[in-house]
Structure 1
Amino acid sequence: MKLFVGLDISSFDIKVCILGDEGEKLTSFTVSNDLPGATQLRDRILDCTMDKDVQTLKIGLESTSVYSFHPSMFLHNDESLKGLDAKVFVMNPKQIANFKKSYSDMDKTDEIDAFVIADYLRFGRNSMSVVKEEQYIALQQLTRSRYQLIHQVTKEKQHFLQHLSFKCNTFSQEVDSSVFGNAMMEMFSEKFSLDELAQMPLEDLAGFLQEKGKSRFNDAECVAKSIQKAVRSSYRLDKVVEDSIDVLLGTSIEVIRTLQKQVKEIEKAIGRIMAGLVETQTLQSIPGIGPVFTAGIIAEIGQIDRFEDETKIAKYAGLYWRKHQSGRFTADDTSLSHNGNQYLRYYLVEAANSVRRHIPEYQEYYAKKYKEVPKHQHKRALVLTARKFVRLVDALLRNHQIYTPKRSVNI
């Protein structure tokens, strides 16, 4: 006997539909989306299996952020269901929506959606979305938070530079030193006016930079000269405008420092989890792959057995091109899919960009693809290199191998 359980989950409840081998509805009901409700759901599933030889038990639900997380993990880890070799699948809502289009004149209700999910499972289109193990979920929460924080830092730095161009419009042109170094940040935090910086004795400004920069400047006096040159050649602002810009610069500095501190805390937590994963050493053995890319890729892939092969990983990441064919016509120029896991796609593409600088094989492949088209050369070549890189990642993780330059694995 085969059982297919479809769950339509909201923040309040779970609509359930259980189908048999031939698609016949065995039962449907609703439970609350909490621990008692999940326990009741488990018991009702077990009731359907009582005194029956269950060969297949599949439980499916759409990925709905935090709403689906707890039910999926509860059912995935339940010992009674494990005894029946139950498999829990978390699926892309777009897949279910597209599958539903095959039904004609079907309404949109939660009960019907639960039936559609169960029927989708019955057709077997669910080979790669098994629930992740806990350590990968924990790592994913951390890496995604780090990703968001890094983007916030970048955005805040852009705001800072905009404000700086108001205060001192030639600063970035004249000063050959990082605006975001500690010494520069401290200087802007002091809210010096342009006239104060211009009139400050050179040795005092150089000493200030050396002290705040913890003696990391090779020639602090040269940097101080370039700063004074910049402030002397910049436009002067009205006092009220300059004061407002100083407030904004100070606020941006505090925001940037707070975000950077949070990033460091998250990176420590990521490091603790990564230390316990066997995949860490495998991926970091690839030249150009550091702890950030390693953590991001592992967090999004999870256990490699979730995927049948490397093509499933590429599709999950959205690194594939849709075919456009009709009769004897086949389009040569098709667009990259916009579906897939944006985080995994980001880490694979960025990692491939780094790997091509360290491994000649990937540099040659990138160069070859770059020359094939007259436009969008870098973007296209990089995505294709990332697609090639997926094969390496899959082979190493699946075979528990360390990368070796000459004969790493058969891919």
Structure 2
Amino acid sequence: MNQDGDVLKSFTVDNNLPGSEFLRDQIVALADKHSSQEIQIGMESTSVYSWHPAMFLNEDKELKKRQAKVYTINAKLIKRFKDAYVDLDKTDDIDAWIIADRLRFGRLPLSMIMQEQYVALQRLTRSRYHLVKSLTREKQHFLQHLFFKCNAFRSEVESSVFGNAMIDLFLEKYSLDEIAAMDIAVLADFLKEKSKNRFSDPEGVAKCIQKAARSSYRLSKCVEDSVDILMATPIETIRSIKAQIKQLDKAIERLLSGIPNTLKSIPGIGPVYCAGILAEIGDIHRFKDQASLAKYAGLTWSKHQSGKFTADETNMIRSGNRYLRFYLVEAANSVKNYEPEFRAYYYKKYHEVPKHQHKRALVLTARKLVRLVDALLRNDQIYTPRRKVNR
């Protein structure tokens, strides 16, 4: 399509290397034929399916000579633009026409094309994100089975259910009566051995476990055997996922060491959070300012205003990069534990409302962190805490 909206050519290509090369040749030929001063290539952002053609067209030498710009546009934005037209069918040809017309319209959104080092890092951090979500689900399943097995355990025992000693105790498939009748010294020795002496008071923990066993409902042998099997399954899955996360963390740290950045100078932000944020941002200069970065992360709130009325309560936008939002929120939760300024800000926001205090305060703290992240990356600056002046 040219700038006047006239369709110059329409054809179909396969989503593979030969298909992209053919598409490149057609674009170059048409640009030369019509003496085009500007080339814009647009496609819907469809996860892994759009990544290869987008990277190929972005890095192609012939297209670079002509300063072609490649845009991967959110499918929701394309749909909203299409809604402005009346009664258009849903076909591949029409969808391609809509994307081309959106490019002609201008005011284009930020292109998501990033350098390869950020893409490699992004693959690792996004995989880690999904593993963390899977780990959370498996732990929830395990806790449900644990309540069947020993419903008083979590109220009586303060130690983590997912520590090595506790996990090994559950895998032994002891009945509640066997645990309750076990000699305290024997149970304490078991805990010391499995935890590698990490319990400060193993006998005290052993007494709490026995109290929980005595206070819990008893199951029939049939049901208890089934629950033991159900408890063992998520335990093995949890251990496997933890091992995979540990392996990814090492790979992330290795790759991150080759990407210069100043985010690790912020107290509480280690290699994983740093990598997760950098992988989604890429080059900070792709963003106009910290506000556009916050919007990209989905850490902004919609406005509701009409005339002299402005709503006091508004919802956070539902769009945005969920991975960047996740790592910013997790990083903010860590930073507030190390940095007094962020801790004070978190508790200030925490006490402003009676409901959803932690969630609201944490998201607002993450929004504050966006400003810091933007400033450090944009200015290539090391984080320096604000100095307090004694009076």
Match of 2:4 among 22, 35, 47: 22
* Cα distance per residue 1:215-263 (max 9 Å; x no partner): 2222222222222222223222111111111111111211111111111
Match of 2:232 among 250, 273, 280: 250
Q: Which residue of 2 aligns with 1:260?
A: 242
- Measured after TM superposition, the shift of residue 390 of structure 1 is 1.3
Q: Which residue of 2 aligns with 1:145?
A: 127
- Measured after TM superposition, the shift of residue 378 of structure 1 is 4.0
Q: Give, as a single letter, the amino acid of the residue that structure 2 aligns with 1:144.
A: R
Q: Which residue of 2 aligns with 1:120?
A: 102
Say if 1:54 and 1:84, in contact at 8 Å, map to a contact too.
Answer: no
Matched, 1:344 2:317: no
Report the secondary structure of 2:8's partner residue. Answer: strand
Could you tell me the percent identity over the aligned residues?
62
User: Which stretch of the first structure deviates more once superposed, 309-318 or 345-354?
Assistant: 345-354
Match of 1:273 among 245, 251, 255: 255
Q: Which residue of 2 aligns with 1:84?
A: 66
Q: Which residue of 2 aligns with 1:406?
A: 386
- Measured after TM superposition, the shift of residue 361 of structure 1 is 3.4
Distance in 1, matches of 2:352 and 2:159, equals 39
Q: Which residue of 2 aligns with 1:309?
A: 289
Match of 1:74 among 27, 48, 56: 56
Q: Check 1:174–1:272 CA distance in 2 against 1; reply closer, same or farther (3 A cut).
A: same
Distance in 2, matches of 1:57 and 1:298, equals 29
Distance in 1, matches of 2:204 and 2:363, equals 43
Q: Check 1:176–1:387 CA distance in 2 against 1; reply closer, same or farther (3 A cut).
A: closer
Matched, 1:321 2:304: no
Say if 1:59 and 1:86, in contact at 8 Å, map to a contact too.
Answer: yes
Q: Which residue of 2 aligns with 1:11?
A: none
Say if 1:127 and 1:308, in contact at 8 Å, map to a contact too.
Answer: no
Matches within 5 A, 1:101-250: 101-250=83-232
Distance in 1, matches of 2:5 and 2:367, equals 38
- Measured after TM superposition, the shift of residue 372 of structure 1 is 4.9
Gaps of 5+ in 1: 1-18
Q: Check 1:221–1:381 CA distance in 2 against 1; reply closer, same or farther (3 A cut).
A: closer
User: Which stretch of the first structure deviates more once superposed, 215-224 or 247-256?
Assistant: 215-224
Distance in 2, matches of 1:364 and 1:224, equals 39
- Measured after TM superposition, the shift of residue 364 of structure 1 is 4.1
Report the secondary structure of 1:27's partner residue. Answer: coil
Say if 2:73 and 2:109, in contact at 8 Å, map to a contact too.
Answer: no
Q: Give, as a single letter, the amino acid of the residue that structure 2 aligns with 1:403.
A: Y
Match of 2:276 among 286, 296, 321: 296
Count matched residues: 387
Distance in 2, matches of 1:89 and 1:245, equals 52
Q: Which residue of 1 aligns with 2:26?
A: 44
Distance in 2, matches of 1:130 and 1:266, equals 24
Say if 2:252 and 2:272, in contact at 8 Å, map to a contact too.
Answer: no
Q: Check 1:327–1:223 CA distance in 2 against 1; reply closer, same or farther (3 A cut).
A: closer
Match of 1:284 among 259, 264, 287: 264
Distance in 1, matches of 2:128 and 2:63, equals 35
Q: Give, as a single letter, the amino acid of the residue that structure 2 aligns with 1:233.
A: S
Distance in 2, matches of 1:375 and 1:164, equals 30
Say if 1:128 and 1:312, in contact at 8 Å, map to a contact too.
Answer: no
Report the secondary structure of 2:41's partner residue. Answer: strand
- Measured after TM superposition, the shift of residue 51 of structure 1 is 6.0
Q: Which residue of 2 aligns with 1:9?
A: none
Distance in 2, matches of 1:75 and 1:107, equals 28
Q: Check 1:150–1:27 CA distance in 2 against 1; reply closer, same or farther (3 A cut).
A: same
Say if 2:152 and 2:213, in contact at 8 Å, map to a contact too.
Answer: yes
Normalising by structure 1, what TM-score? 0.88
Match of 1:383 among 355, 363, 367: 363
Distance in 2, matches of 1:316 and 1:27, equals 34
Distance in 2, matches of 1:222 and 1:253, equals 25
Q: Give, as a single letter, the amino acid of the residue that structure 2 aligns with 1:326.
A: S
Distance in 1, matches of 2:350 and 2:169, equals 44
Q: Give, as a single letter, the amino acid of the residue that structure 2 aligns with 1:222.
A: G
Distance in 2, matches of 1:376 and 1:185, equals 33
Say if 2:122 and 2:280, in contact at 8 Å, map to a contact too.
Answer: yes
The root-mean-square deviation of aligned C-alpha atoms, in Å, is 2.0
Normalising by structure 2, what TM-score? 0.92
Matched, 1:354 2:334: yes
Report the secondary structure of 2:13's partner residue. Answer: strand
Distance in 2, matches of 1:267 and 1:165, equals 32
Q: Check 1:355–1:211 CA distance in 2 against 1; reply closer, same or farther (3 A cut).
A: closer
Gaps of 5+ in 2: none
- Measured after TM superposition, the shift of residue 127 of structure 1 is 4.4
Distance in 2, matches of 1:255 and 1:188, equals 14
Q: Check 1:253–1:67 CA distance in 2 against 1; reply closer, same or farther (3 A cut).
A: same
Q: Check 1:196–1:374 CA distance in 2 against 1; reply closer, same or farther (3 A cut).
A: closer
